[in-house]
Amino acid sequence: MATLFENISKEFLLENITPRTERSSQWFKNKLQMMSGINRQELLLSPEFKQRGQLIVQRPLIGTMHMFKYLPKGEETLPYYDQYPLVIITGRAKGGFRGLNLHYLPVMLRVRFLTLLYDIMQVSDEMDHDNELDWDRLNRGTIKRFLKPMIKTYLTKQVRGRIAQVFPPEWEIAAFLPFQRFRKSNRDIVWRDSYKQVYRR
């Protein structure tokens, strides 16, 4: 049986669009943002993610992307949080790891961020496990303004269940899949706050 990611990939290939470009990001945005009824737990436990990224929380690889369920420590003190993050790991942290949770960016800003990110990372279909994310380049120039609302620290012991790794050819699918679940607030408020952080002078 074809998986969700496989089905979407096949549809995309029929469009004859170059992957990891602004046009491809727009296609995935338009295709996926209208999806509903996604069972997040079922997706994380699906065969396509089996045995992916099981050790990443202990030995995080910079530049890899992951989906997981998370219950933050001290959640009662937070204005809101994403229960199902989609994170590009940027480094280690005490008891866990740091990363960029793409869900915190409004969809249109996500398109722009990914376009800039692909220019930096030069992701190819052959680079599947050990992309190197050039943090020095990421932390300067035009792309820097997008980082503030996304950068988060995740504690290993607060992760619930499996961590599923998303390989580069599937990044655009994961990035625009409505997988987020914001708690204590709704996405419009979260995205409004993020927009203000990105364009704050």
- In tens, the pLDDT along 25-58 reads 999 999 887 787 788 888 887 766 665 544 444 5
With bands split at pLDDT 50, 70 and 90, how would you rate the model's confidence at 161? confident
Contact 131, 88 (CB under 8 A): no
Distance between CA atoms of 79 and 65, rounded to whole angstroms? Answer: 25
What's the helix, strand, coil split of the chain in %, to 5?
40, 20, 40
Indicate the number of domains in the chain.
Answer: 1
Contact 36, 178 (CB under 8 A): yes
With bands split at pLDDT 50, 70 and 90, how would you rate the model's confidence at 79? very high
**Average model confidence (pLDDT) for the chain?**
84
The predicted pLDDT at position 12 comes to 93
Contacts of residue 161, defined as CB under 8 A and 6 or more positions apart, other chains included, come to 41, 44, 45, 68, 69
The predicted pLDDT at position 166 comes to 86
3-state class (DSSP) for residue 64: coil
| pLDDT at 2 exceeding the cut of 80 | no
- In tens, the pLDDT along 98-144 reads 999 999 999 999 999 998 888 877 644 444 444 456 666 777 788 99
Distance between CA atoms of 123 and 53, rounded to whole angstroms? Answer: 19
Q: Which residue has the higher pLDDT, 154 or 165?
A: 154
Which residue type occupies 46?
S
The predicted pLDDT at position 192 comes to 97
| pLDDT at 180 exceeding the cut of 90 | yes
The predicted pLDDT at position 106 comes to 95
Q: Which residues form the domain of 68?
A: 4-199
Q: Whose structure tokens read 């089905």? A: 7
Distance between CA atoms of 22 and 144, rounded to whole angstroms? Answer: 18
